[in-house]
Structure 1
Amino acid sequence: MGTLKNLIMREKTFLGHPVGLFVLFFTEMGERFSFYGMKAILFLYLIKGVEDGALGLPEDLAGAIFGLYAAAVYILTLPGGWIADNLIGQKKAIWWGGIIIMIGHILLAIPGSNAYFFAGLVSVAFGTGLLKANISSIVGDLYPEGGAKRDSAFSIFYMGINSGSLLGMIIVGYLGEKIGWHYGFGAAAFAMFIGLIVFRSFRGPLKHVGNEPEVKGSPNFLYALAAILLIIFLILYFEVISLVEFTNYMQYVVPLLTVLYFAYIGFFDSSLTVAEKKRVAVLFIFFVGAAVFWSGFEQSSTTLTIFAERYTDRHIFDWEMPASWLQSANSFFILIFSAVFAALWIFLAKKKMNPSTPLKFGLGLFNLALAFFVLFTASKLVLDGTKANVGWLLLTYLLFTLGELCVSPVGLSTYTKLAPRKYYSQMMGLWFVAASLGNLIAGLFAGNFTVDAVNDIPGLFLQVCLISLGIGLILAVFSGPIKRWMGGIE
């Protein structure tokens, strides 16, 4: 490893990009293997019967647990970004976040204890909150010039994300469904360990980015966060309200807190210029578009997994494919198309034909709407008791992928370009809060997919289709004014 390490350190660029990009690529690949691999089997583990070695929970409770966990993973990127910006820097946040994630997956891998299982979920959520936004922030820091090259870098980085998620869903999915659930959770822990080794061993090209801030912030923010988390724990522990009720309330609380946070930055921080405040307003618009997109997309792990497990013919001759494997279709398509999209944005930029960011968001939502129209059609076919062909879900995931490539890497890059430096990692955290809200809604949505409610499924899918189409049209129509508020930043 020493010879390879020295060779890498001597090279300033690789494939036209800083070597540090590829260090982050493989670190994120290991983390996403663990995250998406575990996520692929989590909902099934919650709803499958005790006789299958799982928890056997009803769909509404399982959906609430899944939604809260997935929402917490992303909403905790906000304090994770604050900790990096004000206390320890992005690199230390990534390192310690990865360690906490690994410990969480180890706890999940211990069989026979619900206490260990839920402690593991909490640990993974906190660790991911510390790591996720900060690794994306460092990718942006590697490209201070911005522009289409930074968009291209995030598309390459996205390949690392989806390489890890593809392998994770296949390996963890197979181990979890066919061998034993806890073997799958153990594989996720090992993947995070490999990611940490890569980050620690090859961190040299990152020495100029992600360091500790020169002026440390006050820890009052963390004290307030700890108090909020303690109150939430006590409410749930003493069953003041049920978990399902609490999750329903959170789908309103999270947007309200986000609006207040954006409002504080955009209206009450007098240190920001007028141009910076306009860009914060643009970031809020993109937040709304992303939240709607993820509320549909993140149903991959909930309602689409139920549809795959109960209503889809997954047989290949005499062998039945694990239901969780179908989620990996998205990652497979990402690996095919992400490089194409990265090259496409650069090509169109050179021709001065590159679509504006709000228009790209609109295109992403159009693809999501079309995907749910496909699901609407497929779900109507199963009402008579027959099972749908697997091709319907594969087409859905293809459309998901095309939409994702117009929203996620573009949104990541845009947030790094438009965010005021003072709030850099915190704004990256707010970007992931959109995914948090989407996961929360997706989990609640899955609670409607009970065995007795099969006749309601087409209408539920059509509802998501129409909402996505409406928001996509708004972004497309107002793309011009939104672009002007970006102040010339592409």
Structure 2
Amino acid sequence: MTEQISQKHPRGLYVLFFAEMWERFSYYGMRAILLLFLLDKIRGGMGLQASEGAAIYGLYTASVYLLTLPGGWLADNVFGQKKAIWYGGIVIMLGHIILAIPGGTAIFFLGLAVVAMGTGLLKPNISSIVGELYPEGGARRDAAFSIFYMGINLGSVLGITIVGYLGQKINWHMGFGAAAVGMLLGLIVFRYGSNKYLRGYGEVPPAKVVTPEEAVKAGSERKLGYGLVALLVVFLAVLQLTNTINMTTAQGLAQGAGVIIVTVSLFYFLFILIAGGLTTVEKKRVGVLIVFFLAAAIFWSGFEQAGTSLQIFAERYTERTFGGWEMPSSWFQNFNGTFILIFAPIMASLWIFLSSKGINPSTPVKFALALILVGAGFFIMEMGAKVAVTGQLASPLFLTFTYMIHTIGELCLSPVGLSSYTKLAPKRYVSQLMGIWFVAASLGNLIAGLFAGGFDEENLEQMPGLFNQVTLFSIGFGLLLLIFWKPVKKWMGGIS
């Protein structure tokens, strides 16, 4: 069986599969216990309030996605993808080793920053090499990415199970250390496998000959970038001086980061529309990408509550004792990876079946369904929160069904959105707009952290209302997109 599979796909795919699996083991494993460690006041954690801990969590997860932008640029212009993956993996491992050292606050935050920088360098480039293995594109390439995606989720399940157990049941720093071991295994696989099966892939691109016209254009774009940075600095200074945002606190920093992300994205889209030299059709397609960006940010702001508000609910308000054994609360985050492994092939078959019947939903409809599903998940959590308000522990079924519905929503939005951005983006802006797609995830993670920070530990009665806000906002935007799906589809200019 292995021989048959190897004939269909190059062995390099499996090198990347296992390297990514171990990197995701380290990322999702550490992420599963991060907020718990920040909030813990008994077992050697940092003992922060929910508002501060959740804001730090949001800043960390948002920065991971933001740093994929410079990570991709460094690979394209300096290292090449293979070296970027190798150096990024080493930096990630060093970051987890720092986190495994029981030290002060400064040591811990240094470790977080190092992990984020390494992930930003590794994450966008390993996927690039998968695509490079299949220059012909087509169904074979789609199948390769499906296999690769399975590796991501397998790593997630293993990481949350092992790191979550070690961190919650034995010692927080042992959990962080296990994440470092996972990354080490990924580095070993990549080092020896890539030397043999990835020769000629992911190398530094040849130097491009730049025409005088391109040099002038590049200079103009640099000036625009410097001007935008200066504008942001002034804007943030005004917010700080007027006490609109207090950036001396974790919550203030997270709010400031949110302002930066929204402002940069807005100005970037405006720049492309006004000064990007686009045709009318291309401008309409960029307009569609703006709609998808907003929908994705709203979706991820709900979906990524898995590590924030849903983690707090699992830890404090959910029944986790079965036959005298208490399940680590971080294990609930495993449901997403497990449901992905179950539902991904089912959903892929469903789209193919519907397409054969001529009734496959359009991309805007799939985005709308994703938003409605994430809202429906929070409606279930609102019911669970009402049980918790009475002083009882809520059934684990509330979280189980929420994760299942959210996972189906993810499968409606994530692969579809990734594909849409590559197809709708004007050719000369494809790489940059792919970066903007990840920025939507960054913004969603940040909002998820800020939302969980709104939990008042002294006022449990507010929790159903907070979940209700997410329900109404997500379903409301989803229904709006569902109402206007035909005009949005028309603006796509024949691209489905």
Fold shared per TM-score above 0.5: yes
**Which of 427, 436, 442 is the matching residue for 2:442?**
436
Q: Determine the C-alpha separation between the residues in 1 that align with 2:189 and 2:284.
A: 39
**Which of 323, 327, 335 is the matching residue for 1:321?**
327
Confirm or deny: 8 A CA contact 2:39 2:48 kept in the other structure: yes
Comparing 149-158 with 324-333, which one deviates more in the overlay?
149-158
The residue identity in structure 2 corresponding to 1:167 is L
Confirm or deny: 8 A CA contact 2:63 2:442 kept in the other structure: yes
Shift of 1:84: 2.8
Instruction: Assess, with a 3 A threshold, how the Cα gap between structure 1 residues 364 and 348 changes in structure 2: closer, same or farther.
Output: same
Shift of 1:39: 0.4
Comparing 285-294 with 410-419, which one deviates more in the overlay?
410-419
Instruction: Assess, with a 3 A threshold, how the Cα gap between structure 1 residues 417 and 150 changes in structure 2: closer, same or farther.
Output: farther
Corresponding residue number in structure 2 for 1:257: 264
Confirm or deny: 8 A CA contact 1:364 1:407 kept in the other structure: yes
Corresponding residue number in structure 2 for 1:472: 478
Corresponding residue number in structure 2 for 1:45: 37
Shift of 1:432: 1.4
Shift of 1:206: 4.7
The residue identity in structure 2 corresponding to 1:157 is F
Confirm or deny: 8 A CA contact 2:381 2:398 kept in the other structure: yes
The alignment's TM-score, normalised by the length of structure 2, stands at: 0.86
Instruction: Assess, with a 3 A threshold, how the Cα gap between structure 1 residues 316 and 224 changes in structure 2: closer, same or farther.
Output: farther
Q: How does 1:254-333 map to 2 (within 5 A)?
A: 254-270=261-277, 274-333=280-339
Shift of 1:199: 2.6
Corresponding residue number in structure 1 for 2:348: 342
Instruction: Assess, with a 3 A threshold, how the Cα gap between structure 1 residues 343 and 140 changes in structure 2: closer, same or farther.
Output: farther
Corresponding residue number in structure 1 for 2:45: 54
Q: Percent identity?
A: 56
Comparing 17-26 with 436-445, which one deviates more in the overlay?
17-26
**Which of 102, 117, 131 is the matching residue for 1:111?**
102
**Which of 126, 136, 160 is the matching residue for 2:151?**
160
Residues 277-317 of structure 1, C-alpha deviations (whole Å, 9 max, x = no match): 44333322221111101100111111111111111110011
The alignment's TM-score, normalised by the length of structure 1, stands at: 0.87
SS at match of 1:57: coil
**Which of 206, 211, 218 is the matching residue for 1:214?**
206
Shift of 1:56: 0.4
Q: How does 1:203-242 map to 2 (within 5 A)?
A: 203=194, 206-207=198-199, 210-215=202-207, 241-242=248-249
Shift of 1:421: 4.4
Corresponding residue number in structure 1 for 2:390: 384
Confirm or deny: 8 A CA contact 1:364 1:404 kept in the other structure: yes
Q: Determine the C-alpha separation between the residues in 2 that align with 1:302 and 1:482.
A: 33
Instruction: Assess, with a 3 A threshold, how the Cα gap between structure 1 residues 93 and 174 changes in structure 2: closer, same or farther.
Output: same
Confirm or deny: 8 A CA contact 2:247 2:256 kept in the other structure: no
Q: Determine the C-alpha separation between the residues in 1 that align with 2:286 and 2:9.
A: 29
Instruction: Give the gaps of 5 or more residues in structure 1.
Output: 1-6
Shift of 1:262: 2.4
Instruction: Assess, with a 3 A threshold, how the Cα gap between structure 1 residues 267 and 86 changes in structure 2: closer, same or farther.
Output: farther
Shift of 1:59: 1.1
Corresponding residue number in structure 2 for 1:402: 408
Corresponding residue number in structure 1 for 2:86: 95
Shift of 1:275: 4.5
Shift of 1:391: 0.9
> Does residue 1:65 correspond to 2:56, yes or no?
yes
Higher relative contact order (CA 8 A, sep 6+): 1
Q: Determine the C-alpha separation between the residues in 2 that align with 1:453 and 1:247.
A: 23
Q: Determine the C-alpha separation between the residues in 2 that align with 1:483 and 1:151.
A: 23
Corresponding residue number in structure 1 for 2:243: none
Shift of 1:249: 2.8
> Does residue 1:175 correspond to 2:169, yes or no?
no
Instruction: Assess, with a 3 A threshold, how the Cα gap between structure 1 residues 483 and 338 changes in structure 2: closer, same or farther.
Output: same
Q: Determine the C-alpha separation between the residues in 2 that align with 1:331 and 1:343.
A: 19
SS at match of 1:393: helix
Instruction: Give the gaps of 5 or more residues in structure 2.
Output: 211-217, 241-245
Confirm or deny: 8 A CA contact 1:279 1:418 kept in the other structure: yes
SS at match of 2:454: coil
Corresponding residue number in structure 2 for 1:78: 69
Instruction: Assess, with a 3 A threshold, how the Cα gap between structure 1 residues 343 and 165 changes in structure 2: closer, same or farther.
Output: same
The higher radius of gyration belongs to 2
Instruction: Assess, with a 3 A threshold, how the Cα gap between structure 1 residues 269 and 133 changes in structure 2: closer, same or farther.
Output: same
Q: Determine the C-alpha separation between the residues in 1 that align with 2:207 and 2:465.
A: 54
Q: Determine the C-alpha separation between the residues in 2 that align with 1:142 and 1:489.
A: 25
The residue identity in structure 1 corresponding to 2:398 is W
Instruction: Assess, with a 3 A threshold, how the Cα gap between structure 1 residues 135 and 422 changes in structure 2: closer, same or farther.
Output: farther
Confirm or deny: 8 A CA contact 1:156 1:342 kept in the other structure: no
Comparing 374-383 with 471-480, which one deviates more in the overlay?
471-480
Corresponding residue number in structure 2 for 1:201: 192
Instruction: Assess, with a 3 A threshold, how the Cα gap between structure 1 residues 256 and 431 changes in structure 2: closer, same or farther.
Output: same
Residues 160-218 of structure 1, C-alpha deviations (whole Å, 9 max, x = no match): 11111111001000000111111111111111122222233333655565442333698
Shift of 1:75: 1.2
The residue identity in structure 2 corresponding to 1:33 is F
Residues 303-338 of structure 1, C-alpha deviations (whole Å, 9 max, x = no match): 111111111110011111111111111111111111
Corresponding residue number in structure 2 for 1:393: 399
Q: Determine the C-alpha separation between the residues in 1 that align with 2:414 and 2:333.
A: 17
Corresponding residue number in structure 2 for 1:4: none
Q: Determine the C-alpha separation between the residues in 1 that align with 2:187 and 2:356.
A: 38
Give the RMSD, CA atoms, in angstroms: 3.0
Confirm or deny: 8 A CA contact 1:133 1:425 kept in the other structure: no
The residue identity in structure 2 corresponding to 1:461 is F
Shift of 1:136: 3.1
The residue identity in structure 2 corresponding to 1:29 is M
Instruction: Assess, with a 3 A threshold, how the Cα gap between structure 1 residues 159 and 127 changes in structure 2: closer, same or farther.
Output: same
